Amino acid sequence: MILMVATALAQRPGDVREFQKKAEFINSFTKFVEWPARKFAQPDSPFVIGVYGADNISALLQESIQERLIKGRPVVIKHLLNKEELHSCHVLFISRSERDRLGPILAEVRRENVLTVGECDNFLEKGGVINFVTVGGQVRFQISTDAGRAREAQRQFASAPTGLAIDAVYRRPPLGPAMNTRLRSFPIQRKLRLVVLATCTAALCVASSALFALQFYFFQRDFRRDLVAVGEIVASNSTAVLKFADEQAARENLAALKAKPNITGSALVLKDGTVLASIGRVTIPSAGEANPPLGFHNQGEDIVYSQPILLEGERLGTLILHADYSRQANKLHRLYASILVAVLSISFLVAVFVSWKLERVILDPIQNLADTARHIMGNHDYSARAAKVVDDELGTFTDSFNSMLDQIQARDTALRHEIAERKRAEEELQRAQQQLMDASRQAGMAEVATGVLHNVGNVLNSVNVSATLIAERLGQSRTSNLARAAAMLRDKNGELAEFLTSDPKGQLLPSYIADLSQHLENERLEARAEIDLLTRNIEHIKDIVAMQQTYARVSGLSEVLPVESLIEDALQLNMDSFARHRINVVREYEQVPPVSVDKHKVLQILVNLLRNAKHAMDDSENEKQLTLCVRRQNDTTVALIVTDTGCGIAPENLTRIFSHGFTTRKDGHGFGLHSAALAAQQMGGRLLAHSDGPGLGATFTFELPMAAPATTT
């Protein structure tokens, strides 16, 4: 299994997290969907999750499920190789590699109790139940509501916990937006043809419809006019027939109407309602009905026209004509429809041909712009320009496009130049920063060295004084008198007893030797005291030099050290100067954890702060007091606070004092506080300044991170 997972990770490294999430979802689906018992051959038959396609999600499924049971059944993950194996699955995951064969695969299991899960855009449209989608880098799933099985799955998943909430339920989109989307993806040539042809077709349809309606109106009008004219002729010829009730003549008059095929029947009716004669299919008025209604009226599919027959203003009877209107109208409709189809077809072909000939007027400039844009996008060649073909809006657009390219090319050139300049500036800045760091480091080392040399110089003054005193005392020593006394004793060697008792000089010699010995002892003690002082001063010099060597030797390494020792080392380098200028040093140390710092950088910062405090108090009339405070700032930081009673800092200089080259002393160089702030930042701390104003002293807070507590294993 490890080999399978490794293979999956190697083949799809970018989709590992996505497939892991999908595998977890599939694993969770099995908790909220019920399968009928008939889906399992035996009570202990395994639960089968099938994977169809090229994805290696089966390895991740195997890893996520491990040896878990689903509804009391063991789980089997199968990578399916053919459609015959689909029927044995309870959950079927179809990879996106099978998007072109979704229809046959889903049709194969459509009537089976199989929960189909996919990851293709059209999976739900083709009958799938659950589809994975990726939104904003997150894997979600959709459930279809088209099929009964899908609705059942929807009900099952409605009881799922919040963590498995359904992102969206698929519903088939309306046809219109889909067509609009497809239309937007058409090439502009096809769109232009569709627009031209649709416009022409719509215009032709409207014109043809209007012509058809007008012809139909004329047909109705002329049809009625024709009936009226025929009726008036027959009626004028039938006055005598009706006057004398001549049936034979009436039939002869009506027989003449056979020349009009649209007239299917006719009748002459006397004024008392008696039908004198009739021919063809005609509706005869009821017996005894006098004077039937005149004019036009419809009777089924026929039009009936009644024409009164008058003689000198007296109505003798009525002529009734039946005309087959529907047959004539249908013939006319078929004729007009055929003409309309022919006209539309010919017009459509002509429109296609003309649009094909004329579309190049619009398409060529657009195609030229598109080709230029593709060339620029593919080769990043902003020197390319589109050829101006026409002087209309497309020509204006081409000019604007070329002008935009000019601006882009100019900006691209300027940007490249600016990038090159910026790179050179960055390189110069890096060199300047390195030089500044070196200068700051050298300045900090110079500060420390100056303190060391200053203290060594003070001690050497004491050594010089002690050596001078010893030399003067040796020059003024009475040891020469002892030599003369010894010479006198050698001269009186044989007469020494007589000399000491009888000679006045000899009598004084014992007391003289005693006084001389006492004097020499005092000289020895004084010389020994001066020599001891000289030795201590030399040892002091050795200690100062050794401490400086120690700091220089461990520079750049972080060590866990107590804060108090660091302050005391810095004080030792400046204590003689403080004593000579009568500066009172007050220590206020709290018990704080040790810090992890670079000793050399801390010594550089503290020496700089102490020397600045000493200089600030040189010209101050206030009591010269330097307060050194150590306290715990918070759970991770220790603060070293240096407060002086010197000349103070103006408010506008509180931030400027840390800038490189800024100084308020005539003999200052402006490196000290700047390098100190940089060194504090490099150690994970910071250096802050505060002052209530000129003449009110200043406080510098040096924050350092506490050392991490030691861990035991």
Q: How confident is the model at residue 215 (pLDDT cuts 50, 70, 90)?
A: confident
Write down the pLDDT at residue 47. 84
> What is the distance between the alpha carbons of residues 621 and 615, in angstroms, rounded to a whole number?
13
How many CB atoms lie under 10 A from the CB of residue 47? Answer: 22
Write down the pLDDT at residue 630. 94
Residue, of 307 and 284, whose pLDDT is higher: 307
Element spanning 630, H or E: strand 625-632
Q: Per this entry, what is the length of the chain?
A: 713
Residue, of 282 and 130, whose pLDDT is higher: 130
Residue, of 594 and 191, whose pLDDT is higher: 594
Residue 180 pLDDT > 60, yes or no? no
Q: How confident is the model at residue 173 (pLDDT cuts 50, 70, 90)?
A: very low
Residue 616 pLDDT > 70, yes or no? yes
Write down the pLDDT at residue 207. 84
Write down the pLDDT at residue 605. 87
Residues ≥6 apart with Cβ < 8 Å to 563: 589, 592, 594, 595, 630, 638, 640, 704
Inter-CA distances, 22 with 52, 60, 133, 611, Å: 15, 9, 10, 68
Element spanning 639, H or E: strand 637-644
Question: pLDDT (tens digit, 9 = 90+) per residue, 644-671?
Answer: 998 888 888 887 888 877 777 766 666 6
The answer to whether 599 and 563 have CB atoms below 8 angstroms apart is no
Write down the pLDDT at residue 637. 92
Residue, of 249 and 447, whose pLDDT is higher: 249
Amino acid (one-letter) located at 551: Y
Residue, of 705 and 523, whose pLDDT is higher: 705
> What is the distance between the alpha carbons of residues 36 and 18, in angstroms, rounded to a whole number?
31
Write down the pLDDT at residue 459. 59
With b for 16 or more beta-carbon neighbours within 10 A and e for fewer, the 495-504 pattern comes to eeeebbeeee
Calculate the CA dihedral of residues 404, 410, 411, 413 and round it to 10 degrees.
140
Q: Of 12-16, 78-82, 277-281, which gets the smallest average pLDDT? A: 12-16
Sign of CA dihedral 262, 264, 268, 269: negative
CA-closest candidate to residue 58, choices 78, 38, 73: 78
**Mean pLDDT of the region 451-474:** 66
Q: How confident is the model at residue 366 (pLDDT cuts 50, 70, 90)?
A: confident
The answer to whether 126 and 106 have CB atoms below 8 angstroms apart is yes
Write down the pLDDT at residue 196. 81
> What is the distance between the alpha carbons of residues 118 and 102, in angstroms, rounded to a whole number?
9
Write down the pLDDT at residue 165. 37
Write down the pLDDT at residue 578. 83
**Mean pLDDT of the region 465-470:** 71
The answer to whether 65 and 75 have CB atoms below 8 angstroms apart is yes
Residue 447 pLDDT > 50, yes or no? yes
Residue 3 pLDDT > 70, yes or no? no
Residue 265 pLDDT > 70, yes or no? yes
Strand 130-135 and strand 115-118: pairing? parallel
Q: How confident is the model at residue 702 (pLDDT cuts 50, 70, 90)?
A: very high
The pTM assigned to this predicted structure is 0.34
Superfamily of domain 557-705: Histidine kinase-like ATPase, C-terminal domain (3.30.565.10)
Write down the pLDDT at residue 154. 44
> What is the distance between the alpha carbons of residues 287 and 697, in angstroms, rounded to a whole number?
140
**Mean pLDDT of the region 360-384:** 79
Write down the pLDDT at residue 549. 62
Domains of the chain by residue range: 2-172, 211-335, 477-547, 557-705
**Mean pLDDT of the region 365-380:** 80
The answer to whether 386 and 398 have CB atoms below 8 angstroms apart is yes
Q: How confident is the model at residue 171 (pLDDT cuts 50, 70, 90)?
A: very low
Residues ≥6 apart with Cβ < 8 Å to 523: 473, 477, 478
> What is the distance between the alpha carbons of residues 656 and 234, in angstroms, rounded to a whole number?
125
Eight-state DSSP code of residue 706: B
Residue 252 pLDDT > 90, yes or no? no
The answer to whether 68 and 49 have CB atoms below 8 angstroms apart is no
Residue, of 345 and 6, whose pLDDT is higher: 345
> What is the distance between the alpha carbons of residues 96 and 132, in angstroms, rounded to a whole number?
10
Write down the pLDDT at residue 585. 92
**Mean pLDDT of the region 552-581:** 78
Write down the pLDDT at residue 66. 60
Please give the structure tokens belonging to residue 353: 């041909």
Residue 229 pLDDT > 60, yes or no? yes
Residue, of 573 and 694, whose pLDDT is higher: 694
The answer to whether 75 and 101 have CB atoms below 8 angstroms apart is no
Establish how many alpha carbons lie within 13 A of residue 629's alpha carbon, considering only the half-sphere containing its beta carbon. Answer: 14
Write down the pLDDT at residue 703. 93
Please give the structure tokens belonging to residue 704: 């350092």
What is the percent of the chain where pLDDT is above 90?
6
Tell me if residue 66 falls in helix, strand or coil.
coil
Write down the pLDDT at residue 150. 47
- CATH fold, domain 2-172, is Rossmann fold (3.40.50)
How many CB atoms lie under 10 A from the CB of residue 654? Answer: 14
- CA angle 135-137-143, nearest 5°? 35
**Mean pLDDT of the region 370-386:** 80
How many CB atoms lie under 10 A from the CB of residue 237? Answer: 15
Write down the pLDDT at residue 285. 61
Residue 642 pLDDT > 90, yes or no? yes
The answer to whether 317 and 309 have CB atoms below 8 angstroms apart is yes
> What is the distance between the alpha carbons of residues 687 and 39, in angstroms, rounded to a whole number?
76
Q: Of 446-460, 489-503, 615-629, which gets the smallest average pLDDT? A: 446-460
| Backbone angles phi and psi of 685, in degrees to 5 | -115, -160
The answer to whether 108 and 80 have CB atoms below 8 angstroms apart is no
Write down the pLDDT at residue 575. 78
Q: Of 231-235, 299-303, 305-309, 644-648, which gets the smallest average pLDDT? A: 299-303
> What's the chain's Rg over C-alpha atoms?
61
**Mean pLDDT of the region 562-588:** 85
| Backbone angles phi and psi of 480, in degrees to 5 | -65, -35
Question: pLDDT (tens digit, 9 = 90+) per residue, 499-520?
Answer: 667 777 766 767 777 777 777 7
Q: How confident is the model at residue 428 (pLDDT cuts 50, 70, 90)?
A: confident
| Backbone angles phi and psi of 330, in degrees to 5 | -65, -40
Residue corresponding to tokens 């090229």: 54
Residue 674 pLDDT > 70, yes or no? yes
Write down the pLDDT at residue 698. 92
> What is the distance between the alpha carbons of residues 242 and 238, in angstroms, rounded to a whole number?
6
Element spanning 221, H or E: helix 188-237
The answer to whether 245 and 270 have CB atoms below 8 angstroms apart is yes
CA-closest candidate to residue 463, choices 540, 537, 541, 574: 537
HEC string of 365-428 equals: HHHHHHHHHHHHHHHCCCCCCCCCCCCCHHHHHHHHHHHHHHHHHHHHHHHHHHHHHHHHHHHH
| Backbone angles phi and psi of 147, in degrees to 5 | -105, 160
Give CATH for domain 211-335.
3.30.450.20
Residue 273 pLDDT > 90, yes or no? no
| Backbone angles phi and psi of 505, in degrees to 5 | -65, -40
Q: Of 49-63, 128-142, 574-588, which gets the smallest average pLDDT? A: 49-63
Question: In which order are the strands placed within the sheet that holds 263-270?
Answer: 275-280, 263-270, 314-324, 302-311, 295-299
With b for 16 or more beta-carbon neighbours within 10 A and e for fewer, the 549-580 pattern comes to eebeeeeeeeeebebbebbebbbebbbbbbee
Helices (runs of H) and strands (runs of E) counted in the chain: 18, 20
Residue 384 pLDDT > 90, yes or no? no
Q: Of 128-142, 548-562, 590-604, which gets the smallest average pLDDT? A: 548-562
The answer to whether 318 and 291 have CB atoms below 8 angstroms apart is yes
Residue 259 pLDDT > 90, yes or no? no
**Mean pLDDT of the region 276-284:** 77
Eight-state DSSP code of residue 710: P
The answer to whether 321 and 307 have CB atoms below 8 angstroms apart is yes
On average, the pLDDT of the chain sits at: 76
> What is the distance between the alpha carbons of residues 166 and 137, in angstroms, rounded to a whole number?
17
